[in-house]
Structure 1
Amino acid sequence: MLKDRHTDIMDLMRILILIIAMCMAVQVPTEKIKNLYAPRLERCVGSPELLYRFCCAIPPFFTQAVAKACGSMSKPFLMRKNVTGILRHMFDCSYWYCTLNKYDLLTSKGFVDLDKYFIHLDLWTHLNTAFSDHIIDAKVNCKESHRFHLPLNPCEFFRMNECVRNYLKVKCSHPFPTKGCLEQKKFFDACGDYFV
């Protein structure tokens, strides 16, 4: 009887330790909580016209050849002097599965291997050094904001990829030197935390 009681107490202790560990794992930094519930300043409510300007040329994370081989369709959406913006259309999960598979970014169970994806982004940064100041913060921010969805399957990967691209857009170090883009940069410098 004493042995059974000891076993019950040990089981309760294990459950308590597990609950504490889970609470610590989902703890959100205090600043993030304040930003989630703080009312947005009036000056930080941007118009869609301001927010969606194409001002930061972020090269694709995956090559055009792989994108085409996996079923992506590309079309120009902006032509300005020597800059042509290309927009890729990815229609379904099979595109992401194919792309991630070609880059060996999937685990043996078919989930996205975030460590390999982040190494891939580091290699991308070596070719696109203008983004090196912000890529680490982008990875940390996006992994934190998607932690409840981990591990990601290829269909869910789009959100993680777009999170990184959006972070780089908001923190863009070298926007196009136009009046509208400089206005967007000034806005994001002041209010960017609401948009990442």
Structure 2
Amino acid sequence: METRAGCIGTYDEPLPGFASRGSPECAERTCILRNNDLLFDNDEIDKDSVKQYLNEWVAKRREFIPAVNAVKDICLGKKPMFGPTAMCDADKLFMCIKSNFFNKCPNWLETEGCTETRAFMERCMPYFD
């Protein structure tokens, strides 16, 4: 998400006018989604708009098609998003996107840290599906 102006910072409480539950990061992520017109007026995620955003984003980054397809299927499909009930939907969406981009990353470096992370992701991803 590219429009972060006024959203990123350290907050002890949610930003005024944004999601009231979840972590302070929830307010930032909700703000980013709102700035990209990816929410309905009630701060519910507009899944169709997120899918369209991802389609436009991946058109310039075709190596990420498998990751974007996984995000659209797993994160924006018919099932509720994975995560604790106390976690806001914006946090769940960002966690799901990040997990799937790690899992389907087309350009893993051959380093110890990357190899360990990739092995960890391969063990964990079945729990997200």
Query: After TM superposition, is the score higher than 0.5?
Result: yes
Structure 2 gaps of 5+ residues are 11-22, 83-87
The aligned amino acid for 1:176 is L
Aligned residues: 111
- Deviation of 1:184 after TM superposition, in Å, equals 4.3
SS at match of 2:4: helix
Instruction: Tell me the residue number matched to 1:72.
Output: 9
**Root mean square deviation of aligned Cα:** 3.1
User: 1 or 2 for the larger relative contact order (CA 8 Å, sep ≥6)?
Assistant: 1
Q: Identical aligned pairs, as a percentage?
A: 21
Seen in structure 2, the aligned counterparts of structure 1 residues 109 and 190 have a Cα distance that, compared at 3 Å, is closer
Greater strand fraction, Structure 1 or Structure 2: 1
Q: Deviations over 1:44-74 (max 9, x none)?
A: xxxxxxxxxxxxxxxxxx12xx32421336x
Distance in structure 2 (CA, Å) of the matches to 1:167 and 1:182 = 16
Instruction: Tell me the residue number matched to 1:14.
Output: none
- Which of 127, 141, 144 does residue 74 from structure 2 map onto? 141
Seen in structure 2, the aligned counterparts of structure 1 residues 131 and 195 have a Cα distance that, compared at 3 Å, is farther
Instruction: Tell me the residue number matched to 1:156.
Output: 89
TM-score, length-normalised on structure 1? 0.46
SS at match of 2:24: coil
Structure 1 gaps of 5+ residues are 1-61, 74-89, 150-154
Seen in structure 2, the aligned counterparts of structure 1 residues 188 and 138 have a Cα distance that, compared at 3 Å, is farther
TM-score, length-normalised on structure 2? 0.64
